[in-house]
């Protein structure tokens, strides 16, 4: 018998250098496997418990991933969205 842990890939947000990204994942990547974020950044996958994150570290959202996510899903993009000033 196994204790299965189900992971909803729509809710997986890779964090690279304190920045919260979005990626389209077909499956859970293997450790070390490259993950490409919506903004184009690629980084190897790694896994840690959420409890291991520094509670004083504030994660910020990648504005370029957010822009691509909104565009792909038909969500409104405000005219002052930070990704538009690039």
* 34-59 confidence digits (pLDDT tens): 999 999 999 999 999 888 888 888 88
- Residue 69 belongs to some domain of the structure: yes
Closest residue by Cα to residue 43 from 35, 54, 51: 35
Burial class of residue 62 in the structure, from the number of CB atoms within 10 Å of its CB (0-12 exposed, 13-18 middle, 19+ buried) = buried
- Residue 3 belongs to some domain of the structure: no
- Residue 25 belongs to some domain of the structure: yes
- Residue 56 belongs to some domain of the structure: yes
Domain that holds residue 64: 9-85
Domain count, the chain: 1
- Residue 48 belongs to some domain of the structure: yes
Model pLDDT, residue 85: 84
pTM of the entire predicted model = 0.84
């Amino acid at each position: 018998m196994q204790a299965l842990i189900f992971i909803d890939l729509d809710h997986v947000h890779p964090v690279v250098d304190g920045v919260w990204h979005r990626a389209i994942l077909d499956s859970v990547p293997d450790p070390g496997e490259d993950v490409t974020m919506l903004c184009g950044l690629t980084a190897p996958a790694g896994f840690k418990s959420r409890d291991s994150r520094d509670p004083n570290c504030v994660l910020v959202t990648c504005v370029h991933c957010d822009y691509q996510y909104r565009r792909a899903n038909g969500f409104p993009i405000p005219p002052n969205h930070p990704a538009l000033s690039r």
